[in-house]
A and B are shown apart, each in its own frame.
Chain A
Amino acid sequence: MTDIVLDNVSVKRGASIVLDSLTLALSERRVAVLGANGSGKTTFVKLLNGLVLPTAGRLMVAGLDVARDVHAVRRRVSFVFQNPDNQIVFPIVREDLAFGLRNRGMAKDEIADRTATVLARLGIAHLADRQVHGLSGGEKQLVALAAAMVTGPSLIVFDEPTTHLDLRNRNRIRAVIGEMAEDAVIVTHDLELARDCERAVVIADGRIGFDGCPAAAIDWYVGRCS
């Protein structure tokens, strides 16, 4: 369980306020973040591993102040981006997984072991030596997830992980997220995926519009959109 505590957190870009005085404490293992396009939900999750820093207020993740200990926070929090093509840096799957571990100065043997373990855990060991450009959308998303998992984070943040996927791959990603040991915060438009979570937060116009159980949050969100 990774504790996330936001205390009056705001994010401004120039004159515009992207997130406005959010105060929230999250400790559930699966949290969904819902909201319309441009509502600030991606900025909200980017705060969680320091990709965006608060312009006011304080954000603590796993007991660490994100603004002060961003590198330490990134060791505990991995991020899976919406488009795996922009996340996967190396052309071969095995090389890409090794990237995050090389950044930590890990020895080659250990990198090989951890890479093989994570690929096997996600059932994609057969992709280890495949070229990324030849993979399907679902396979790329699994590789991006493997790259996030391989560094051993306690929390994985997902930005719309099922948006580009067909039904089969969407179900596969849902199952993987459901079964994984790591905690997860998931930005999504996929209401079924949100329903799998223990808690849902709806971001509306940079504020918390609703916070509670997923079924009620989805009702509130759907009502607001109709």
Chain B
Amino acid sequence: MIGSLYHPGDTPLHRIPAAAKLGFLFAAGLALFLTDSPAPLAAAAAAAALLLAATGAPARSLWRQLRAVALIIALVFAANLAFADAGTAFAVLCRLSALVMAAMTVTVTTRTSDMLEAVERGLSPLGRMGLANPAKVGLAVALTLRFVPEIFGHYREIRDAQAARGIAASPLAILVPLVVRNLKAAEDIAAAIDARGFGAPRDGASPKERHRP
């Protein structure tokens, strides 16, 4: 079973503040789309691979997280090879690989609570302007990180149950129960979040805010 995306550790990457890592990821994401030249993109992919290796997370655990995305990247590479040219396909391969490995480096070395805090702080100017709700965006990020492994777990259970009944693997046969099960889980999770006081006025809030339903 795929585990949590975060890998506890005390590497220099773990010690960098979450906001700095997210800022770097944002900038790297933009920079990777500023060039189509294979050489700098290959260098970026190599650098991202080195960063990921420096997280100290076991290679097996990293591969378990990477393999589904690797398949998609391989498909995109094959499509570019078929409909464009080898140079473009290689550039796309390097760009996506660099982006995915850089993002994994951030998730593997950053606690969800630190990420949540950084997102909330980063979005607070938008919150003051009424353009976004930083707490909700932060919670959405946290939930994504928490439940990606759960969804993989559900996939495995459904696949095992179907295999035990002699049902051959088919995307539709897996997708329908997977969506239904995750929607049901989402309903329970939403209730749990409500029950735990998310969105309630905080201690010290004004009486007006406290009485708002």
Contacts and interface: CB of A to CB of B under 8 A. Distances in A.
Interface of A: 46, 49-51, 70-71, 74-75, 78-79, 81, 83, 85-92, 95, 98-100, 103-106, 129, 131-134, 147, 151
Given A51-B195, A86-B192, A95 B111 contact: yes
Given A85-B150, A90-B113, A91-B112, A133 B4 contact: yes
Interface string B100-136: 0000000000011100000000000000000000000
Nearest to B200: A71
Given A129-B8, A132-B4, A89 B197 contact: no
Contacts of B208: none
Interface stretch (B50-58, B70-78, B138-146): B138-146
A131 B205 CA distance: 33
Contacts, number: 102
A91 B5 contact: yes
Interface residues of B, number: 37
16 contacts: A71-B197, A75-B197, A90-B142, A91-B145, A91-B146, A92-B4, A92-B8, A95-B111, A104-B200, A104-B203, A129-B8, A131-B6, A132-B146, A133-B1, A133-B153, A151-B196
Contacts of B195: 49, 51, 74, 78-79, 81
A5 to B, nearest CB: 21
Nearest to B1: A133
A89 B188 contact: no
A86 B184 CA distance: 10
Contacts of A103: 196-200, 202
Interface of B: 1, 3-6, 8, 111-113, 139, 142-143, 145-146, 149-150, 153, 185, 188-189, 191-205, 210, 213
Contacts of A51: 191, 194-195
